[in-house]
Amino acid sequence: MSETHKAGRSAGVRERAPTAPVVVAGAAAALFALPLAGLLWKAPWSKAWPALTSEEAGQALRLSLVTSVSATALALALGVPLAWVQARVEYRGRSLVRALTTLPMVLPPVVGGTALLLALGRRGLVGPQLDRVGVHLPFSTAGAVLAEAFVAMPFLVLTVEAGLRTSDRGLEEAARTLGAGRWAVFRSVTLPLVRPSLLAGGVLCWARALGEFGATITFAGNLQGKTQTLPLFVYVKLESSDPGSAIVLSLVLLAVSLAVLASLRDRWLRAL
């Protein structure tokens, strides 16, 4: 009985396959697929290996890995407590804080970089104080990490906050009534509960950090081996007389991001 019902339903779905949304969906998918096809079409495959193994490209790739992983670590250290407070603590101004933490997602990254410069630069709001204790962020790798974290952390905070909101608070309360301390509850109940969204948020944050361009070049500058991450290197190369190597490197960046996002899709949807 239930099987015939199921079969009937799926057959019904197939029958009603609506044309209009499918056509629009196809166009939407093409919007994403076409640029990718353009890159694949123009990529000089014969020059791919030398382009990928050049010293400059290697340096940019290594630097990108170091900075994006560091930015994700920084985002986890700062972002998880922030997400917890936003999800679990009622306070005045909570929506303002949420808007603030979402801001980097809509702010043009170049503006973000300028804002960082105005705050942490040599003449910035707190820059002189940082200078006095020997912290120089502009033109440094640490500056590149900070710029990436600034732009990418919202992805982590929003995902983890959503996970915390939808997680079962009954389990936490039960643990508390059984005598577990707050930290123990957080570590052995809350964190395992939001693990999928933690993972999803972390990976999204990392992917965004890996692709970061505007805030990095504005705040940290462009110096090979120090602040020239892969997106910056690709941009410089694209404008040179040999844009082929840049296209190959863009494809590497795309392949990495695509692989990460494809493996993540289900988890992310569940977390949200």
DSSP states of 13-28: HHHT--HHHHHHHHHH
Q: Which of 131, 243, 254, 267 is in the footprint of other proteins by CB under 8 A? A: 243
Among 223, 252, 254, 260, contact with other proteins (rule: CB under 8 A): 223
Give the range of 73-81, 192-200, 231-239, 251-259 binding other proteins by CB under 8 A: 231-239
CB nearer to other proteins: pick between 72 and 245? 245
Q: Are 119 and 136 in contact (CB under 8 A)?
A: no
Q: Is 123 in the site for other proteins (CB under 8 A)?
A: yes
Q: Are 151 and 109 in contact (CB under 8 A)?
A: yes
Give the DSSP per-residue string, 51-75: HHHSHHHHHHHHHHHHHHHHHHHHH
Which stretch in 6-14, 51-59, 190-198, 222-230 sits in contact with other proteins by CB under 8 A?
A: 222-230
Please say whether the beta carbons of 233 and 56 come within 8 A: yes
Distance in Å, CB of 208 to other proteins, minimum: 22
Q: Please tell me whether residue 119 binds other proteins under the rule CB under 8 A.
A: no
**Which of 217, 234, 249, 256 touches other proteins by CB under 8 A?**
217
The reply on whether position 238 binds other proteins by CB under 8 A is yes
In whole angstroms, what is the distance from residue 112 CA to residue 119 CA? 11
The Cα-based distances of 21 to 29, 32, 76, 240 in angstroms read 12, 17, 39, 42
Asked if 125 is part of the footprint of other proteins (rule: CB under 8 A), the reply reads no
* Residue among 57, 117, 207, 215 that touches other proteins (CB under 8 A): 117
One-letter amino acid of 34: L
CB-based burial label for 38 (10 Å; 0-12, 13-18, 19+): exposed
Q: Is 138 in the site for other proteins (CB under 8 A)?
A: yes
Residue whose token pair is 């504005």:
218
For residue 217, what are its two tokens?
A: 């070049």
Residue number, 148 or 172, with CB nearest to other proteins: 148
Q: How far is the CB of 228 from other proteins (least distance, A)?
A: 8
Residue 205: which of 110, 78, 107 has the closest Cα? 78
Minimum distance of other proteins from residue 116's CB (angstroms): 11
Per CB under 8 A, 222 contacts other proteins:
yes
Decide if residue 55 touches other proteins (CB under 8 A).
Answer: no
Minimum Å gap between C-beta 245 and other proteins is 13
**What residue ranges bind other proteins (CB under 8 A)?**
117, 121-123, 138-139, 217, 220-224, 227, 235-236, 238-241, 243
